[in-house]
Structure formats: structure tokens, C-alpha cells
Amino acid sequence: MPDAKLEAQPPARQESDDVMLEVRNLKKYFPIEKGLFRAVKGHVKAVDDVSFTIREGETFGLVGESGSGKTTLGRCIVRAISPTSGQIFFRLPAGELVDIAALPKRELRDVRKYFHMIFQDPYSSLDPRMSVLDIIAEPIRNNKLLKANRDIQDRVRELMTVVGLDIQHLNRYPHAFSGGQRQRIGIARSLAPNPRLIVCDEAVSALDVSIQAQILNLLEDLQSEFNLTFLFIAHDLSVVEHISDRVGVMYVGQLVELTDTDSLFTNPKHPYTEALLSAVPTTDPEIKMDRIILPGEVANPADPPSGCYFHPRCRYAQELCKREAPEWKEVAPGHFAACHFADELELRGVEDAR
Ligand SMILES: Nc1ncnc2c1ncn2[C@@H]1O[C@H](COP(=O)(O)OP(=O)(O)OP(=O)(O)O)[C@@H](O)[C@H]1O
Ligand code: SF4
Ligand SMILES: [Mg+2]
């Protein structure tokens, strides 16, 4: 069994009233089973001791390369899967913070309606045999929010209007819609039970750039209209730039940097963030980008390197980095990074790279 000990790790617990979600020392280890008797030979440390908070009404961006643990973290937060250890405090409408990682199934059922996850591929997450009406109505029916069919239909029409879908298409099936429209159906469905937190997992990644912008605008409008809090997951930093208030960067199951979006983009404190930023496309074709190409692959979360997990790919790595894991520390107010040399390195932000 992996170490379930809870180590004290900043950022420390915030007692302030505006916290919507507080994740503390969260771990999700998937066992690697081998042989006839399925003996456990190790663990994929998909999320490995992650702590952060999201404020009410905030959009928190989460970025990192494929396999860094973003989806696993999101799925733990909406309790689609159970974390191995750690806490997930979630604020209920009455103001109480409850640890949804520790809630028994029965109580979890009562609070599930307050958080929802939407996925990259709206087609695979929408049942092709269900009409739009049934897809959007399902969470209303499951949570017994409305009983009369007439009321449910009215609510579905209202939700379709809110997300910009034509209510005439109520009885159509998902295949009749474009990718952007399907994502709108997914969003309407997620809004049906009046959630407080929505985890958007690569929600716009599969869409054309112009459609992406429309969906991002819609999410922003809905956020202010319904006072929603977003955890916005993407591997593309340019997607999170415009929508996020703060951004966390993940590498091999851990957060390596976290700060407000502006500071992250202009004044990164972790070499991994610097490399990701150098790949953000510029809108000005005159500007030649100076991209940092990272050598090698993302480390294996079942067998990560010694010391700083990023050291085999880091252009600033020193001997110390191979031996010791860097601490997660506050390098400026509200700006956290896990790098031995975060205070000394002069890293390039987007302005310098563009
Ligand atoms: N159910 C599972 N069983 C075993 N390993 C898993 C499981 N789900 C995820 N993993 C592993 O956990 C690690 C993190 O995966 P995850 O899907 O969370 O990453 P991600 O950051 O969302 O990647 P992507 O950008 O490709 O979506 C990967 O090594 C993945 O193979
Ligand atoms: S601790 Fe060392 S290897 Fe890790 S990011 Fe910082 S400089 Fe690079
Ligand atoms: Mg993912």
C-alpha cells in the first residue's frame, strides 16, 4: 500500500470564507498488477501529494503534458474515482466545508449535484441513443429536482437557450450536431442540477479555434450568470491564458508551479513552465518564437527519476537536483514553485519568448 501519511505541505489551509474547493495532500496511486494472482508490483503515482485551493467564482487553470495526472486529479475532485489519500474540502451552498474524499456513499449522493465534469470529446460523453431532451433531463431526473414531465421539458428548453442551442432541436440526437453544439449540449446537461463547481477537462481542445473561442466566451458568461467556479484543465497554455484567474502547472503527478495567470505568463519561476510558455503560439507572424525543446519524454509516474522529477529534461539541472526533491515554496506572495533555484534563475516569460 502506498504511503498514506499526510505530510504538511503548503499552501497551508486557508480558512477564508471564499474558498470553494481545497485539495490537501491528494494522492491517487493506481496499482500495477501482474501474474495469475494479480500481485501488486508497484504503483502509478498519477496524483502525488497535490495541494491547492480554488476560490468561489474563480477559474483555476491546470496545465501539463499528457500523462501528468490532470484528468485523474479532476476525476478525484468530482469523486468519479476515490483518492488513495488526502482531503477534498468542498463548500456546500449553506456555507459548510465538507471533505468529500471522506464522505460515505450515501452522503456523497446528496452532494454530487454540486460538482460536475465535462470532457474533451462531447460525442463520446453523450449517449448517441438519447435525444437532447433526455440527455439534459437525465441529471434533473436522477436528482429528482423536478417531477412533472412538463416542468422538466421547460427546464431543458431554458437550459438550451442559456447555452445558445435552438429549442426546436429538442428531440434530435447527438449525431445531428456539430462538435461545438455537442459541447453546448454537454454544458447544458452539466448546468441542469445547478452545480457550484464545474471541472472542464480539455473541454475545447478538440474544437476549431473559432469554435473554441465561442465556447470559452459562453463558459465565461455562464460563470458570471450562475456564479460558477471552474477547474479548467488543458495541456495548451494558450487556452487557459484568457479564461483563468490562476494557473497550476503539473508534472508527473505533482504541482510544480502555481500563481495568478499574469505572473505565470510573464514571470515563471519553474523551468518546466518556461518551456511550456515558449511553445505558446504568437498571434503576430512577424515575431519569431524561440521555442525550448525539452529533451526526452515525460517521466514514468510508476518509476519517476530521483530528486527533482524534471531533472533529466531540465537545462538548469545541477547535482543537487538529482539527489534531492525540491520543496514547494512561496517564492513571492501567492506564487508557489518547486525548484531548488526558483529564486535565482532568470526565466523567460511569454513577452520575452515572443
Ligand atoms: N485507471 C487507470 N489505471 C492505471 N493507470 C492510470 C489510470 N488512469 C490514468 N492512469 C495513468 O495515470 C497517469 C496520469 O494520467 P491522466 O490521464 O490523469 O493524465 P492527463 O494529464 O490527464 O493526460 P492527458 O493530457 O493525456 O489527458 C498516466 O500515466 C496514466 O497512464
Ligand atoms: S530543481 Fe533543478 S532540475 Fe528541478 S526544475 Fe529546478 S533547476 Fe531544474
Ligand atoms: Mg487528461
The per-residue pLDDT string of the chain (354 residues; one tens digit each, 9 = 90 and over) reads 444 333 434 443 444 579 999 999 999 999 998 888 888 889 999 999 999 999 999 999 999 999 999 999 999 999 999 999 999 999 999 999 999 999 998 999 889 999 999 887 666 778 999 999 999 999 999 988 999 999 999 999 999 999 999 999 999 999 999 989 999 999 999 999 999 999 999 888 888 888 989 999 999 999 999 999 999 999 888 889 989 999 999 999 999 999 999 999 999 999 999 999 998 877 666 666 678 888 888 899 999 999 999 999 999 999 999 999 999 999 999 999 999 999 999 999 987 555
Under DSSP, is residue 113 helix (H, G, I), strand (E, B) or coil? helix
Region of 296 please: left (phi>0), alpha (psi -120 to 50) or beta: left
CA of 201 from ligand 3 middle (Å) equals: 7
Residue with CA nearest ligand 2 atom 5: 339
Total Cβ atoms within 10 A of residue 208: 12
Q: Are 193 and 113 in contact (CB under 8 A)?
A: yes
* CATH code reported for the domain at 8-244: 3.40.50.300
Domain boundaries, the chain: 8-244, 259-354
Atom of ligand 1 nearest to the CA of 235: 25
Cα dihedral: 280, 285, 286, 289 (round 10)? 30
Residue with CA nearest ligand 1 atom 22: 71
Contacts 24+ apart (CB under 8 A), 214-223: 214/180, 215/180, 215/183, 215/184, 215/187, 216/242, 216/243, 218/163, 218/164, 218/184, 218/187, 219/187, 219/243, 222/162, 222/163, 222/187, 222/191, 223/57, 223/59
Atom of ligand 1 nearest to the CA of 300: 29
Beta bridge partners of 242: none
Distances (CA, A) of 270 to 21, 88, 200, 313: 25, 26, 25, 13
Query: Which residues are in the CB-under-5-Å shell of ion ligand 3?
Result: 71
Residue with CA nearest ligand 2 atom 1: 339
Evaluate: CB of 72 within 6 angstroms of ligand 1.
Answer: yes
CA of 298 from ligand 2 middle (Å) equals: 14
Residue with CA nearest ligand 1 atom 11: 46
